[in-house]
């Protein structure tokens, strides 16, 4: 039995198990199971590997996309560049990390947003998911500014996002967990009244289907997309890695 799974701190919101279980059933993939592994701390990761010797592939979600890296034996080039991992291949007792969030976000953004040479994006959040977004935006030639609760140099604080600032950024991407079930009444603190039909809002959160962030954007006339298409795209990229990569 080949075993796959997802590690994270709280996984009640995750659709990954359902997605892969349905994939195994519909595609007739035998001897494969996908499980959820909640870890109270990343230090519990080695014990999980020892307890589950049949594990051959893992996905990684918040808050461990960066914290898991010291436990790996190698990193794919894109994961090393981004500094975050959301997919792990296990082979011969060795672990290699990849970042398929980059692939999933890049491909779905190209379908959603009319990329132009002078496009500018406002990226809400600076965590592990944001790093994949930054890399994808750079690969597409889209300039971006980051917004953080604790901004460093060249980043903006949420209090600095005025209506005038918002008008300069047609693409706004939420990489934070704000609005994720069960805390669906939360949303990033930006001046939603300044949104227009010329804005595009991309939320990496996929549960609920429409977050408060997206709802406020839709009411203002902005075009919106949630994280579900990205989830599908990154999941399929993970599956390709687990089945086709030769690690060491």
pLDDT single digits (tens) 136-154: 999 999 999 999 999 999 9
Tell whether 55 and 142 lie within a shared domain. Answer: no
Q: Are residues 109 and 87 in the same domain?
A: no
Instruction: Give the pLDDT mean for 207-227.
Output: 97
Domain co-membership, 138 together with 155:
yes
Asked if residue 212 and residue 132 are part of one domain, the reply reads yes
Over residues 45-50, the mean pLDDT reads: 98
pLDDT average, residue stretch 61-82? 94
The pLDDT of residue 119 is 87
Q: Based on the domain organization, do 74 and 137 belong to the same domain? A: no
Let me know whether 93 and 108 are in one domain. no
Same domain, 8 and 78: yes
Q: Are residues 86 and 42 in the same domain?
A: yes
Contacting residues for 81 by C-beta, under 8 A, at least 6 apart: 135
Which residue, 69, 96, 105, 99, is CA-closest to 82? 99
CATH code of the domain containing 214? 3.40.50.720
What is the rounded distance in angstroms from the CA atom of residue 15 to the CA atom of residue 127?
21
Domain count across the chain: 2
The boundaries of the domain holding residue 53 are: 2-99+230-244
Q: What token pair was written down for 160?
A: 């600095």
**Strand 32-38 versus strand 55-60 pairing type:** unpaired
- As a whole number, the mean pLDDT across the chain is 94
Task: Report whether pLDDT(246) > 90.
Answer: no
Q: CA–CA separation, 142 vs 136, rounded Å?
A: 9
pLDDT band at 104 (very low <50, low <70, confident <90, very high): very high
- CA–CA separation, 34 vs 194, rounded Å? 43
Q: What is the 3-state secondary structure (H, E, C) of the chain?
A: CEEEEEEECCCCCCCHHHHHHHHHHHCCCCCEEEEEEECCCHHHHHHHHHHCCCEEEEEECCCCCCCCHHHCCEECHHHHHHCCCCEEEEECCEEEEECCHHHHHHHHHHHHCCCCCCCEEEEECCCHHHHHHHHHHHHCCCEEEEEECCCCCCCEEHHHCCHHHHHCCCEEEECCCCCCCCCCCCCCCCCHHHCCCCCEEEECCCCCCCCHHHHHHHHCCCEEECCHHHHHHHHHHHHHHHHHCCCC
Please list the active-site residues.
Answer: 65
Model confidence band, residue 248 (pLDDT cutoffs 50, 70, 90): very low
CATH number at residue 25: 3.40.50.10860
């Amino acid at each position: 039995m080949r075993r796959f799974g997802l590690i994270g701190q709280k996984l009640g919101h995750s659709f990954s198990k359902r997605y892969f279980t349905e994939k195994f059933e519909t595609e007739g993939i035998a001897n494969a199971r996908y499980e959820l592994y909640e870890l109270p701390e990343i230090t519990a990761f080695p014990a999980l590997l020892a307890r589950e010797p049949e594990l051959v592939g893992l996905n990684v979600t918040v808050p461990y996309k960066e914290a898991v890296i010291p436990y790996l034996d190698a990193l794919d080039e894109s994961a090393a560049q981004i500094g975050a991992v959301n997919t792990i291949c296990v082979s011969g007792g060795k672990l290699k990390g990849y970042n398929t969030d980059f692939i999933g976000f890049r491909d779905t953004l190209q379908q959603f947003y009319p990329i132009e040479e002078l496009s500018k994006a406002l990226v809400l959040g600076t965590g592990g998911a944001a790093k994949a977004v930054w890399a994808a935006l750079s690969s597409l030639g889209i300039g971006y500014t980051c917004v953080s609760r604790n901004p460093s140099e060249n980043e903006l604080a949420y209090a600095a996002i005025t209506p005038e600032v918002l008008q300069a950024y047609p693409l706004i991407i939420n990489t934070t967990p704000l609005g994720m079930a069960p805390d669906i009444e939360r949303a990033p603190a930006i001046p939603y009244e300044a949104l227009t039909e010329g804005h595009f809002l991309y939320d990496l959160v996929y549960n609920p289907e429409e977050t408060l962030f997206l709802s406020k954007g839709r009411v203002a006339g902005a075009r919106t997309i949630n994280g579900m298409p990205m989830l599908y795209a990154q999941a399929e990229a993970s599956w390709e890695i687990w089945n086709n990569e030769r690690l060491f």
